[in-house]
């Protein structure tokens, strides 16, 4: 999401494009070197400039596109964006908008195929079966591979997956669900562990999601998993001081980076979670590449210690 020079609405000049391209090139190189082979973007990120930046990198280096899995999102129209000119932000997963979004993303990316198309937010005015129909048409044309959803409650994840399985004759279901998850966003974990307890956090429709996606073979992707450096880069505030100190302590014990510890807390869960890394800094990206190994070495005591520190109180 950070590619493309931020959320300003003014177009970049030549110097601005060169700067964002250099930053993105370094980030992508660091990711590939760390074994990270999925690139996640969206049509709205930096008002389309994120996709355009990646498109320029692909055009400059033949063969680069074959080195990673590409996923992008559609379904949000941002109020005031030069992309849409909407007066207010709204969600649109109608077949017409999905088809137009795919065409526009392919043009910005300069590629012929999106490996995974993700519906960014639930559009309550559109039946998921209609959205699925538009996706399957694009799949038949060879321009998209799989379908995922983002920021949706269990009921909508189920509706999309059921619709896709029905329309494809059971040949496929959703490939992924994206949610904000991490030490700072623990509601999904706590909806499971703190069931039947007054301290259970409101599930916002997520109760039962873990069991559902595991039964159906849908991958959980965790966006915002580094919490914008809350536990790793910034000086701790009063509310996070204990968690920051605990992350640093576990990092020392495991002889690794704090970024790897924060991600490993998610990866350690036996749910197959794949964190989405938003950093542009090559060194931090390299540190994140250690997360899977750190998760294997992180013991239960360390995992629960991190959780308790992030909660700010003992488990019941």
Element (H, E) at 162: helix 154-167
The token pair that represents 85 in the structure block? 């000119």
What sign does the CA torsion over 119, 152, 180, 148 have?
Answer: negative
Evaluate whether 277 touches 252 at the Cβ level (below 8 Å).
no
- Measured distance CA(41)–CA(62) in Å, rounded: 20
Evaluate whether 106 touches 143 at the Cβ level (below 8 Å).
yes
Neighbour-count burial of 68, counting CB atoms closer than 10 A to its CB (0-12 exposed, 13-18 middle, 19+ buried) = middle
Evaluate whether 255 touches 287 at the Cβ level (below 8 Å).
no
Neighbour-count burial of 215, counting CB atoms closer than 10 A to its CB (0-12 exposed, 13-18 middle, 19+ buried) = exposed
The token pair that represents 258 in the structure block? 């704090």
The beta-carbon contacts of 21-25 under 8 Å, at least 24 apart in sequence, are 21/53, 21/56, 21/57, 23/280, 24/53, 24/54, 24/57, 24/280, 25/57
- Measured distance CA(206)–CA(127) in Å, rounded: 20
45 is known as an active-site residue? yes
In sequence order, what are the beta bridge partners of 185?
A: 182
User: Catalytic residue numbers?
Assistant: 45
């Amino acid at each position: 999401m950070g590619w493309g020079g931020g959320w300003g609405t003014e177009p970049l000049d030549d110097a601005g494009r060169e700067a964002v391209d250099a930053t993105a090139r370094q980030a992508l190189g660091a990711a590939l070197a760390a074994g990270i082979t999925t690139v996640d973007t969206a049509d709205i990120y930096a008002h389309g400039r994120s996709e355009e930046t990646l498109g320029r990198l692909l055009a400059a280096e033949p063969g680069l596109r074959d080195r990673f899995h590409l996923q992008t999102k559609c379904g949000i129209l941002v109020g005031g964006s030069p992309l849409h000119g909407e007066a207010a932000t709204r969600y649109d997963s109608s077949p017409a908008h999905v088809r137009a979004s795919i065409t526009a993303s392919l043009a910005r990316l300069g590629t012929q195929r999106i490996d995974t198309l993700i519906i960014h937010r639930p559009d309550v005015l559109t039946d998921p079966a209609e959205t699925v129909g538009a996706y399957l048409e694009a799949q038949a044309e060879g321009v998209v591979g799989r379908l995922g959803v983002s920021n949706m409650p269990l009921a909508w994840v189920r509706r999309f997956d059921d619709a896709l399985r029905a329309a494809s004759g059971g040949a496929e279901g959703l490939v992924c669900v994206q949610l904000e998850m991490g030490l700072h966003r623990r509601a999904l974990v706590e909806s499971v562990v703190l069931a039947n307890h007054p301290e259970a956090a409101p599930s916002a429709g997520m109760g039962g999601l873990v069991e559902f996606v595991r039964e159906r073979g849908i991958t959980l992707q965790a966006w915002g998993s580094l919490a914008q450096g809350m536990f790793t880069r910034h000086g701790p505030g009063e509310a996070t001081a204990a968690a920051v100190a605990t992350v640093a302590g576990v990092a020392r014990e495991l002889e690794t980076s704090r970024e790897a510890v924060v991600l490993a807390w998610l990866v350690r869960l036996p749910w197959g979670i794949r964190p989405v890394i938003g950093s542009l800094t090559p060194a931090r990206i390299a540190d994140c590449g250690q997360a899977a190994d750190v998760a294997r070495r992180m013991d239960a005591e360390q995992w629960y210690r991190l959780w308790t520190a992030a909660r700010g109180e003992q488990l019941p």
